[in-house]
Amino acid sequence: MVEYRRRRLGGPGEESERVDETPHRQESPAERHRRIASGFAAAVASTKDWDAPTPVPEWTARDVVAHLAGWFPPFLKDGSGIQLPTGPSVAEDPAAAWQHHESAVQAVLDDPNTAERTFAHPRLPQLPLAEAIDQFYTTDVLMHTWDLARAGGLDHGLDPDECAEILTGMLPMDEVLRRSGQYGPKQSVGDDAGPVERLMAFVGRDLLWESQRPA
């Protein structure tokens, strides 16, 4: 049975609940990140046009990499004091930038000292550092793997069971997630839609987007 928790998110006087979107599998945060980040890296390696549009409105393929490599380092530093080393520019070489970023995050998770460290972000309750990375960052990489794969017409390679578990954890928090501004309006899906499609439609992705790409 998969268990999900609700956490509080928000600054002083502006708290809101946030769902823990991460399924509690028999997999450590380091192992899960290695698997999911490798899937994103495969999409990066197969991307031919970094200016191609993506299912995220106004984002190009390059912007997907820039998002992941951009928001997480300051988030990590604010909550743990860890500063990831600066890598190649996403604007100049998104593939090299991702490789550097992926390796830097993996090094933090593989560090034996990480198990003893606490993540204490000013807008979140304290929790173990590895758990924080897993909950807030690794699942974001999973979702954006779908975006980058669709941009390049690639196989996303996402695990349907994992996507079903993530969606199960998010469904009770529908209203809170919408208010956060981090997710678009839910999209409709057919009765025959699988777990991956249902998850991505829930977080606001248009499943028909591929047919609307410019020629």
5 C-beta neighbours (distance < 10 Å), count: 12
Q: What is the mean pLDDT of residues 119-141?
A: 92
Q: Is 31 exposed, middle or buried (0-12, 13-18, 19+ CB in 10 A)?
A: middle
Domain locations in the chain as residue ranges? 6-212
Q: Which residues fall within 8 angstroms of residue 32, CB to CB, at 6 or more apart?
A: 22, 25, 134, 138
3 state SS of 165? helix
Distance between CA atoms of residues 54 and 48, nearest Å: 13
Distance of CA 203 to the CA centre of its chain: 11
Q: Which residue has the higher pLDDT, 177 or 98?
A: 98
* Percent of the chain surpassing pLDDT 70: 86
Q: What is the mean pLDDT of residues 145-168?
A: 94
CA distances from 30 to 5, 47, 105, 110, 183 (A): 20, 26, 9, 6, 26
Q: What is the mean pLDDT of residues 116-126?
A: 89
User: Cβ distance 175 to 155 under 8 Å?
Assistant: no
- What are the beta bridge partners of residue 8? 17
Distance between CA atoms of residues 56 and 8, nearest Å: 26
In which band, very low, low, confident or very high, does the pLDDT at 178 lie, cut at 50, 70 and 90?
A: confident
pLDDT in tens, 68-101: 999 999 999 999 999 999 999 999 999 999 999 9
Tell me the whole-structure pTM to 2 decimals.
Answer: 0.84
Q: Which CATH number fits domain 6-212: 2.40.50, 1.20.120, 3.20.20, 1.10.8?
A: 1.20.120
